[in-house]
C-alpha cells in the first residue's frame, strides 16, 4: 500500500518577486534489502515554478552530499527555487537514507578499552563527560600532555547517524531517489518525462550516477560534480581498516590535535560469516566501473572532477568516463588549476567549491541543442522494465512498474548446467577481447618506441578495463574448469599493468619501458596462451 502524506507545510521563498511554494511530503521508502533495518518515512521537498506545471515542465532531482540536507536554507531558498524558475522544472530534494550524519559521539567499549590499552587511560576518565565538546577537550588535553598530535586510529569514538540509520554508501540513497521520482511523476502526470535530470555534487554526484546505472532509460541528463566511482571503504568499515571516516581538530594551549572518528556502521569486512559482511556483491552493485552493468542509452552525462581531488579518485573517474563513452553521450571535464576562476570553480580541491547554480547553467548551455531533453518519452516506469545486475554470487533485480512504483530484490546466483553452457558460449567472445588487448599492446609498444607516451595512456586504461572484464567473466565459471594456471598468470599480468600505470603517472619513462616490454608483454602472452589452452576443449565440442 502506498503511503504518501502531504504535511501542508508551505515554506515561503521568493525569486524575482514571485512567490514559490516548497511543499514537504513523506513517502514510505524502499525496504533495506541488504541488512533489513527498519526504515522511517522519507521526507522530500518539491519546489514548483511560478508558472505551474505544464507538459513542458521537467523534473530535476538535486541530491545533497555529505553534510547537506534537503531542507537546508541553501537547497530550499537558493538552489531549488532558482532552478525551478529559470528552467521551468519541478525541483525535488530528499533526505535520503543515511544523510543525517550527526556530530553526536558515543564512547563504546572498543574505544574505552583501546584508550586504556594504548594510552593507559582508565575507564573512569570519561565519567564526567556530558557534552561532545567535553569529550573533544579531554582527548585534546590528553594528547597535549603526552606530546602527540593525533589520536591513534585504533581509538576511534563513534559518531551517530540519526533515524537509527547507517552508511549504505549510495545504494539505499539511490533507491530513495528513484522512489521519490516515481512519486513525483505520479503526482504531476503532466510533467515532461523527456526532461528528467539528476544533479549532485560529491557524494550526491555519486548517487546521481548510481541512479543512471539503475535506471538507464529514465534520465535525460545526469550531472556529477566530483562524485565517487565505487565503494569508499573508510566510510563503510573505517574502524576495521584503521582509517577515519571523519576527523575533528581541537585546539589546546594554541596547539592543534586531531581526533579520528568513525560512524556507527554495522558493516564488517573481516567476518565473512556475519550477515553484515560487506562482500563482493555489495561492492559490485555500487561500482560504476563494471562494463557488464552498462547498456546503451540516450542519457547525456556531464561530469566535472578536480585533477587534485584527494577525496574522490580522479583516476577512477577517468575510467568511468572512458567506459561511459562506449554507451552514452558524455562530456567530461578534468578541472585543472587554470580553470579555477573564483566564480564557477573556486578552489583547487575536492568539488572545487563550485557554484551549483552556475554549474547547472554551464551544463544547460553545453546541452543547448537538446535543451536538457531526451528524444523518447518512455522510461523504466512507463515500460514496466526489469533491470538485472549480476554481482557475483548475487543478482540485484530492479522491477519498475507503470504505476511509478519500484521493487528491488536480491536473488542468489546459483551455478547450474544451463549457466555453465552460457559460460562456454561466452568463451569465444572472451578470446576475441583478448586478441583486441594483443593489438592494443602492440600499438602501445610502437608508440613508446617513438617516445610518443601521451598517446598511450587512454589505450592502457582500455587494456586494463578489458582485462578486468575478462577476469570477472572467468571468475563466474572458474569452478567448472579443469586445473589450470589462469589465476597466477592473471595476477602477474595485473601487477605488471598496475606498475606500468604507476610509472606513467610518475613520468618515469625508463621504468615504464622496461616494465612494459620485460614484464607486461611476456605476462600477457603467457596468460593468453593459458586461456586458449584451458578454453580449447570446450570450444571443440
Q: What is the pLDDT of residues 491-508, one digit of tens each?
A: 899 889 888 888 887 888
Q: What mean pLDDT is reported for the chain?
A: 90
Same domain as 53, residue 22: yes
Per-residue pLDDT tens digits for 150-195: 999 999 999 999 999 999 999 999 999 999 999 999 999 999 999 9
What CATH number is associated with residue 346? Answer: 3.40.50.1820
pLDDT at 258 over 70: yes
Q: Could you give the maximum distance between any two Cα atoms of the chain, in Å?
A: 78
In 462-510, DSSP assigns E strands to none
> Is there a domain that residue 188 lies in?
yes
Same domain as 172, residue 45: yes
Per-residue pLDDT tens digits for 272-317: 899 999 999 999 999 999 999 999 999 999 999 999 999 999 999 9
Per-residue pLDDT tens digits for 398-410: 999 999 999 999 9
pTM for this entry: 0.75
pLDDT at 11 over 70: no
Q: Among 385, 407, 425, give the residue marking a domain's end.
A: 385
* Structural domain range at position 180: 4-98+165-231+278-385
Question: How confident is the model over 89-95, as a mean pLDDT?
Answer: 98
For residue 484, give the DSSP letter.
-
> Is there a domain that residue 270 lies in?
no
Same domain as 199, residue 292: yes
Same domain as 483, residue 434: yes
Same domain as 446, residue 530: yes
| pLDDT band at residue 483 using 50, 70 and 90 as cut-offs | confident
**For position 423, what pLDDT does the model report?**
59
Q: Which of 213, 233, 197, 162 is nearest to 61 (CA)?
A: 197
Q: How far apart are CA 174 and CA 162, in angstroms?
A: 19
**For position 480, what pLDDT does the model report?**
67
**For position 86, what pLDDT does the model report?**
97
Q: How far apart are CA 179 and CA 182, in angstroms?
A: 5
Q: In DSSP terms, which residues pair with 394 in a beta bridge?
A: 391, 412
More confident residue, 416 or 47: 47
Q: Among 365, 385, 405, give the residue marking a domain's end.
A: 385
pLDDT at 262 over 70: yes
Torsions phi, psi of 122, nearest 5? -70, 155
Q: Which of 94, 30, 85 is nearest to 57 (CA)?
A: 85
Percentages helix, strand, coil for the chain, rounded to the nearest 5? 45, 20, 35
Same domain as 341, residue 461: no
pLDDT at 235 over 80: yes
> Is there a domain that residue 398 lies in?
no
> Is there a domain that residue 283 lies in?
yes
Same domain as 253, residue 345: no
pLDDT at 19 over 70: no
Per-residue pLDDT tens digits for 332-361: 999 999 999 999 999 999 999 999 999 999
What CATH number is associated with residue 463? Answer: 1.20.120
pLDDT at 137 over 60: yes
Same domain as 309, residue 217: yes
Q: Which of 55-69, 205-219, 408-422 has the lowest mean pLDDT?
A: 408-422
Q: Which of 461, 468, 470, 527 is nearest to 493 (CA)?
A: 527
> Is there a domain that residue 533 lies in?
yes
Per-residue pLDDT tens digits for 430-455: 888 898 899 989 989 998 888 888 78
Same domain as 243, residue 208: no
384, 400 contact by CB (below 8 A): yes
> Is there a domain that residue 316 lies in?
yes
Same domain as 89, residue 135: no
Number of domains into which the chain is organized: 3
Q: Which of 69, 44, 74 is nearest to 59 (CA)?
A: 44
Helical spans, DSSP H, in 165-242: 171-187, 203-214, 234-241
pLDDT at 268 over 90: yes
**For position 541, what pLDDT does the model report?**
46
Amino acid at each position: 500500500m502506498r503511503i504518501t502524506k502531504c504535511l501542508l507545510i508551505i515554506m515561503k521563498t521568493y525569486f524575482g518577486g514571485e512567490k514559490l511554494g516548497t511543499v514537504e511530503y513523506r513517502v514510505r521508502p524502499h525496504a533495506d534489502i541488504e541488512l533489513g533495518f527498519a526504515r522511517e518515512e522519507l521526507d522530500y521537498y518539491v519546489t514548483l515554478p511560478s508558472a505551474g506545471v505544464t507538459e513542458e515542465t521537467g523534473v530535476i532531482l538535486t541530491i545533497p552530499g555529505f553534510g547537506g540536507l534537503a531542507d537546508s536554507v541553501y537547497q530550499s531558498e537558493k538552489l531549488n527555487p532558482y532552478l525551478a524558475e529559470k528552467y521551468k522544472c519541478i525541483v525535488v530534494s530528499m533526505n535520503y537514507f543515511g544523510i543525517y550524519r550527526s556530530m553526536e559521539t558515543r564512547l563504546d567499549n572498543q574505544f574505552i578499552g583501546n584508550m586504556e590499552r594504548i594510552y593507559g587511560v582508565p575507564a573512569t576518565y570519561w565519567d564526567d563527560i556530558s557534552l561532545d565538546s567535553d569529550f573533544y577537550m579531554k582527548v585534546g588535553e590528553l594528547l597535549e600532555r603526552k606530546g602527540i598530535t593525533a589520536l591513534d586510529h585504533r581509538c576511534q569514538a563513534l559518531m551517530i547517524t540519526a533515524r537509527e540509520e547507517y552508511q549504505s554508501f549510495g545504494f539505499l540513497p539511490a533507491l530513495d531517489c528513484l522512489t521519490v521520482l516515481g512519486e513525483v511523476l505520479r503526482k504531476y502526470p503532466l510533467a515532461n518525462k523527456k526532461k528528467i535530470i539528476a544533479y549532485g555534487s560529491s557524494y550526491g554526484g555519486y548517487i546521481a550516477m548510481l541512479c543512471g546505472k539503475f535506471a538507464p532509460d529514465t534520465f535525460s541528463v545526469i550531472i556529477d560534480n566530483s562524485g565517487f566511482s565505487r565503494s569508499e571503504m573508510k566510510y563503510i568499515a573505517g574502524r576495521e581498516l584503521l582509517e577515519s571516516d571523519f576527523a575533528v581538530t581541537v585546539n589546546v594551549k594554541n596547539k592543534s590535535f586531531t581526533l579520528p572518528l568513525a560512524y556507527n556502521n554495522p558493516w564488517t569486512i573481516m567476518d565473512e560469516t556475519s550477515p553484515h559482511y560487506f562482500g563482493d556483491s555489495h561492492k559490485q552493485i555500487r561500482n560504476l566501473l563494471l562494463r557488464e552493468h552498462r547498456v546503451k542509452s540516450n542519457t547525456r552525462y556531464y561530469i566535472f572532477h578536480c585533477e587534485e581531488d584527494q577525496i574522490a579518485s580522479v583516476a577512477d573517474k577517468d575510467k568511468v568516463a572512458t567506459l561511459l563513452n562506449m554507451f552514452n553521450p558524455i562530456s567530461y571535464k578534468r578541472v585543472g588549476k587554470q580553470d579555477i576562476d573564483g566564480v564557477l570553480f573556486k578552489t583547487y580541491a575536492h568539488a572545487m567549491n563550485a557554484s551549483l547554480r552556475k554549474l547547472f547553467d554551464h551544463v544547460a548551455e553545453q546541452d543547448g541543442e537538446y535543451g536538457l531533453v531526451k528524444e523518447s518519452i518512455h522510461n523504466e516506469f512507463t515500460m514496466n522494465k526489469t533491470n538485472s545486475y549480476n554481482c557475483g554470487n548475487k543478482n540485484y533485480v530492479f522491477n519498475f512498474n507503470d504505476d511509478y512504483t519500484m521493487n528491488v530484490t536480491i536473488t542468489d546466483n546459483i551455478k547450474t548446467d544451463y549457466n555453465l553452457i552460457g559460460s562456454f558460449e561466452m568463451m569465444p567472445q572472451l578470446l576475441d577481447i583478448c586478441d583486441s588487448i594483443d593489438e592494443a599492446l602492440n600499438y602501445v609498444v610502437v608508440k613508446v618506441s617513438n617516445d610518443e607516451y601521451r598517446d598511450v595512456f587512454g589505450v592502457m586504461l582500455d587494456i586494463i578495463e578489458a582485462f578486468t572484464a575478462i577476469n570477472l567473466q572467468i571468475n563466474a565459471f572458474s569452478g567448472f574448469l579443469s586445473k589450470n594456471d589462469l589465476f597466477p598468470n592473471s595476477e602477474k599480468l595485473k601487477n605488471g599493468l598496475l606498475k606500468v600505470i604507476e610509472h606513467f603517472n610518475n613520468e618515469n619513462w625508463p621504468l615504464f619501458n622496461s616494465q612494459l616490454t620485460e614484464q607486461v608483454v611476456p605476462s600477457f602472452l603467457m596468460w593468453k596462451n593459458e586461456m586458449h589452452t584451458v578454453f580449447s576443449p570446450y570450444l571443440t565440442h
